[in-house]
C-alpha cells in the first residue's frame, strides 16, 4: 500500500507499508537539475554531511550511535537520473516489533533529520578539515572511474554522444572544480539546495501510524521558491555520427555503441523498445550473445542497455583489439535483422519472461521499492507493478519491430591499447 502526502512546498512524503521485511527504511532524496556548474558540489556535500552531526560530531561517534540503535545502517549516495541530479540519504533499521524500545523508531527519524539539517559546523560553516578530507575522497572517486574499463567506455560514449546536452555531465563532478570549493562556499550552496530543491521522502516497512506522523512533522519545512526541473530533451534523429578512439594501457578492447531511439518513456512504444533491447542484447539468449560471443567467439561479453529518461541505448562489449571492425559490422547486422523482424515468437516470450522477472525482483528489498517508486514519480507514471507487467506482456511483435526501426547509431567509442592506431 502506498500513500503520498505533500508536507511542504516541493516536499512529498511517500509511505509504503509492507510486512515483507525485518527492517524499515527511510530515504530522503534531494532532486536537482543536472548541470556542469553544480555537479561537483552536489557530489561533495552529502559526503561532508555523512561525517557527523552537531550532536555526534565525528564519524566514530555517529557509528557508535548507529550501533546502539540496534545496528541501524546509514548510507548516502549521488547519481544522475536523466537530466536530474539526485542526492540520497538512507537509514535502514530493524522493524520496531523486533526491539523493546518503543521510542526507537522516532529516534531513527530524528537522527536522519540531524544528519541532513544539523551538520557539524565551525565558525558558522562546514568544518574545514571535513571538507578538505572529503574533497580528496571525491577526487579519488573521480580519478577511479578509469578502473572499471567497461563502465568507463560506456560513460565516455555517453559523454561524447550527449556532449551538447546536460546528460553528458558526470554525476561525481570534475577534479578541476574541486579546488574552487571551500567550507564557506559549500555550506552556502548546501543551504540553498535545502531551501530550493524538490524533496521526496520514502518510508518503506511495517511502521506504526505515530511514526509516520513524526516523520511528517519533523520534515515539514517552510520554503518559498523551488528550482524547476525541466523535462529531458529527447532527440529523434542523429545529428552527427561520431567515431571516437581512445588509447590506454589495457589488455582488452572496449567498444560502446551509443544509439538514439527517440521514444520517450511515456510513449506506449517504449515497452517495445525495452523488449527490443532485451532480444538484441539482454542476456544469454540474446542475438548479440549467441551470434557474436558464442557462434563467432568475438566478444568476452556483450550486452545492450536502455537509458530510460534519455531514450538512448548503449551496446557495449569486451573484444580483442583486431576484431573491432568485424564486431561493429555484426552489431549493425543484428540490429538490421531486428528491424526486418527476423526474430521469433519464442525470442519474444523469452524476453518478456526476462524483463518481467527483473520487474518482479524490485519488491525483493525495501531499498529497491523506494527506488522504483521514485522513478515512477520522476516519470509521472501512475502504473503499479501489475500494470507494468501487463503492458510488457501485451506487446506485439510489430511494436518491437517499429521500436527497432527508431534505433540509429549515433556514437561509436573504442578503447584500445597504446600505440595501436
* Residue that is written with C-alpha cell 516536499 in the block: 11
198 DSSP 8-state letter: E
300 DSSP 8-state letter: S
CA distance 52 to 63: 9
CA distance 47 to 322: 43
CA distance 393 to 359: 12
CA distance 298 to 126: 53
CA distance 231 to 90: 26
User: What pairs with residue 92 in β-bridges?
Assistant: 25, 73
Report the alpha-carbon angle 360-21-216, nearest 5.
100
Cβ pair 119, 54 in contact under 8 A: yes
Instruction: Report the sign of the C-alpha dihedral through residues 86, 90, 95, 96, in that order.
Output: negative
Which residues of the chain are modeled with pLDDT < 50?
Answer: none
Q: In what order do the strands lie in the sheet with 23-33?
A: 2-8, 11-17, 198-205, 23-33, 84-94, 73-81
Cβ pair 28, 90 in contact under 8 A: yes
pLDDT per residue as tens digits for the range 342-375: 999 999 999 999 999 999 999 899 999 999 999 9
What's phi and psi for 18, nearest 5 deg?
A: -155, 145
What 3-state class would DSSP assign to 122?
strand
Ordered alpha helix ranges (H), 23-121: 36-49, 59-68, 104-117
pLDDT at 210: 85
Q: Identify the H or E element spanning 11.
A: strand 11-17
Compute how many other C-beta atoms are within 10 angstroms of the C-beta atom of residue 154. Answer: 20
Cβ pair 52, 120 in contact under 8 A: yes
291 DSSP 8-state letter: I
Q: Identify the H or E element spanning 389.
A: helix 385-393
Answering whether pTM is above 0.85, one says yes
Compute how many other C-beta atoms are within 10 angstroms of the C-beta atom of residue 327. Answer: 24
86 DSSP 8-state letter: E
pLDDT at 1: 57
CA distance 361 to 137: 33
pLDDT at 420: 62
Amino acid at each position: 500500500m502506498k500513500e503520498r502526502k505533500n508536507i511542504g512546498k516541493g516536499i512529498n512524503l511517500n509511505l509504503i507499508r509492507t510486512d515483507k521485511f525485518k527492517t524499515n527504511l527511510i530515504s530522503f532524496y534531494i532532486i536537482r537539475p543536472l548541470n556542469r556548474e553544480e555537479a561537483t558540489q552536489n557530489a561533495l556535500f552529502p559526503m561532508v554531511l555523512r561525517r557527523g552531526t552537531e550532536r555526534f560530531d565525528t564519524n566514530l561517534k555517529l557509528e557508535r550511535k548507529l550501533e546502539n540503535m540496534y545496528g541501524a545502517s546509514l548510507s548516502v549516495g549521488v547519481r544522475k537520473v536523466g537530466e536530474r541530479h539526485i542526492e540520497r540519504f538512507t537509514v535502514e533499521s530493524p522493524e520496531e516489533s523486533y526491539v523493546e524500545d518503543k521510542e526507537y523508531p522516532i529516534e531513527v527519524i530524528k537522527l536522519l533529520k540531524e544528519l541532513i539539517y544539523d551538520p557539524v559546523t565551525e565558525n558558522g560553516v562546514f568544518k574545514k578539515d571535513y571538507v578538505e578530507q572529503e574533497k580528496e575522497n571525491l577526487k579519488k572517486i573521480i580519478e577511479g572511474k578509469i578502473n572499471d574499463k567497461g563502465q568507463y567506455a560506456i560513460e565516455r560514449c555517453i559523454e561524447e554522444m550527449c556532449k551538447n546536452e546536460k546528460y553528458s555531465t558526470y554525476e561525481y563532478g570534475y577534479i578541476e572544480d574541486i579546488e574552487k570549493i571551500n567550507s564557506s562556499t559549500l555550506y552556502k550552496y548546501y543551504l540553498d539546495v535545502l531551501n530550493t530543491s524538490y524533496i521526496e521522502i520514502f518510508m518503506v516497512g511495517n511502521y506504526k501510524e505515530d511514526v509516520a506522523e513524526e516523520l511528517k512533522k519533523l520534515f515539514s519545512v517552510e520554503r518559498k521558491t523551488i528550482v524547476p526541473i525541466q523535462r529531458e530533451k529527447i532527440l529523434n534523429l542523429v545529428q552527427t555520427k561520431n567515431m571516437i578512439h581512445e588509447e590506454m594501457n589495457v589488455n582488452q578492447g572496449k567498444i560502446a555503441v551509443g544509439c538514439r531511439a527517440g521514444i520517450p518513456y511515456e510513449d506506449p512504444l517504449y515497452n517495445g523498445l525495452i523488449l527490443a533491447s532485451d532480444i538484441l542484447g539482454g542476456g544469454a539468449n540474446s542475438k548479440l550473445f549467441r551470434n557474436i560471443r558464442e557462434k563467432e567467439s568475438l566478444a568476452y561479453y556483450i550486452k545492450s542497455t536502455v537509458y530510460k529518461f534519455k531514450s538512448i541505448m548503449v551496446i557495449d562489449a569486451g573484444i580483442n583489439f583486431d576484431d573491432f571492425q568485424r564486431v561493429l559490422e555484426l552489431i549493425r547486422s543484428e540490429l538490421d535483422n531486428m528491424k526486418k523482424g527476423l526474430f521469433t515468437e519464442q525470442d519474444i516470450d523469452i524476453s518478456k519472461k526476462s524483463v518481467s522477472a527483473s520487474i518482479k525482483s524490485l519488491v525483493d528489498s525495501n531499498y529497491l521499492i523506494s527506488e522504483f517508486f521514485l522513478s515512477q514519480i520522476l516519470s509521472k507514471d501512475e502504473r503499479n507493478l501489475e500494470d507494468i507487467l501487463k503492458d510488457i506482456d501485451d506487446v506485439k511483435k510489430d511494436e518491437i519491430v517499429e521500436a527497432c526501426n527508431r534505433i540509429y547509431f549515433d556514437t561509436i567509442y573504442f578503447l584500445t591499447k597504446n600505440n595501436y592506431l
